[in-house]
Amino acid sequence: MGSVVFGVWFLWAAAYAMTLSRCYPNTCRSYCGNITIDYPFALQYGCGHPGFRDLLFCMNEVLMFHVSSGSYRVLEIDYAYQALTLHEPHMSTCHNLVLGSRGNGFSVEPWRAPYMNPAADNVFMLIACSPRSPLFQGFPGKHLPCRNVSGMGCEDYLSCPAWEMMGHKRLGSAAFFGSGPPECCAVPYQAIREINLTKLQCEGYSSAYSVAPLKVDGPGGWSYGIRVRYSLQGNDEFCGACEATGGTCGYGSDGIRQLAYRQEQGLPTNTIKY
């Protein structure tokens, strides 16, 4: 009787192992539209790095990025530079102003913050913020956080056609930093750690990122969008070795333990990192 039970168990285990060997090596690496999804990202639960789980979703061949502040379309994933380029439809550009506090802004969950944040050369330009905004607490006694980022800032941005269509005339620096809060305040993400239009009491925002070493002439040539840098905390040699030997890296049901799925002699070998 024992040998029969063992035989049934062995057949079940072998079938389960064969299922793993078919699924993980092939389905963890995938595409959405023309964008390759590779480690540390994934579309399937259990694939990729646990710090990036439940982050990317493919909807009608459009790759979406979802964090606490909202959903964004992914335009590009640069694995060499470790960066994602995001688009948000309610973000202002040089040719279109979106007001009414409709924009998502940008923020991530505290547990994701060690893994990703907007790049240091990404400027956020906050538009029409209230004098009561936390940005201006202590104004004018304290220094404003407003400043250029990688050569991009509000003084140039205010010369955009979108402002001219609203009847805005370009202001010089003296008028711009007069006795009241500026109508546009440029900040790096690292200065305030969260772009939340409701909390900041701002009507809108724009975001642009540097494409150095390329030089562009004026705000009409800036790259508008949100450039997010990502990183893997600690030593990632475990998954690096797994991927280099043809395996696929994922994580366990607890959402923490990393797993390496390899196929040897037709059967998978699973290595667990605790």
Query: What is the per-residue pLDDT across 248-270, written as a single tens digit (0 to 9) for each?
Result: 788 777 666 777 766 554 434 44
What is the structure's pLDDT at 153? Answer: 94
- Which residue is it, tokens 């688009």? 87
Asked if the model's pLDDT at residue 245 lies above 80, the reply is no
Give CB contacts under 8 A, 24+ apart, made by 15-18.
Answer: 17/267, 17/268, 18/267
Long-range contacts of 171-174 (CB under 8 A, 24+ apart): none
pLDDT score of 128 more than 70:
yes
The pLDDT, as a whole number, for residue 266 is 40
pLDDT grade for 3, boundaries at 50, 70 and 90: low
SS (H, E, C) the chain: CHHHHHHHHHHHHHHHHHHHHHHHHHHCCEEECCEEECCCCCCCCCECCHHHCCCEEEECCEEEEEECCEEEEEEEEECCCCEEEEECCCCECCCCCCCCCCCCCECCCCCCCCCEEECCCEEEEEEEECCCCHHHCCCCCCCCCCCCECCECHHHHCCCHHHHHCCCCCCCHHHHCCCCCCCEEEEEHHHHCCECHHHHCEEEEEEEECCCCCCCCCHHHCEECEEEEECCCCCCHHHHHHHHCCCEEEECCCCCCEEEEEEECCEEEEEEEC
Q: What percent of the chain has pLDDT over 90?
A: 48
pLDDT band per the 50, 70, 90 thresholds, residue 85: very high
Is 87:73 a contact under the CB 8 Å cutoff?
Answer: yes
Given a cut of 60, whether residue 178 has pLDDT beyond it is: no
Residue 62 has pLDDT above 60, yes or no: yes
CA 253 to chain centre: 24
Q: What does the block give as tokens for 164? A: 């001219």
Query: Is the pLDDT reported for residue 201 higher than 60?
Result: yes
Phi-psi region of 95 (alpha: psi -120 to 50; beta: other; left: phi over 0): alpha
- 98 or 166: which carries more pLDDT confidence? 98
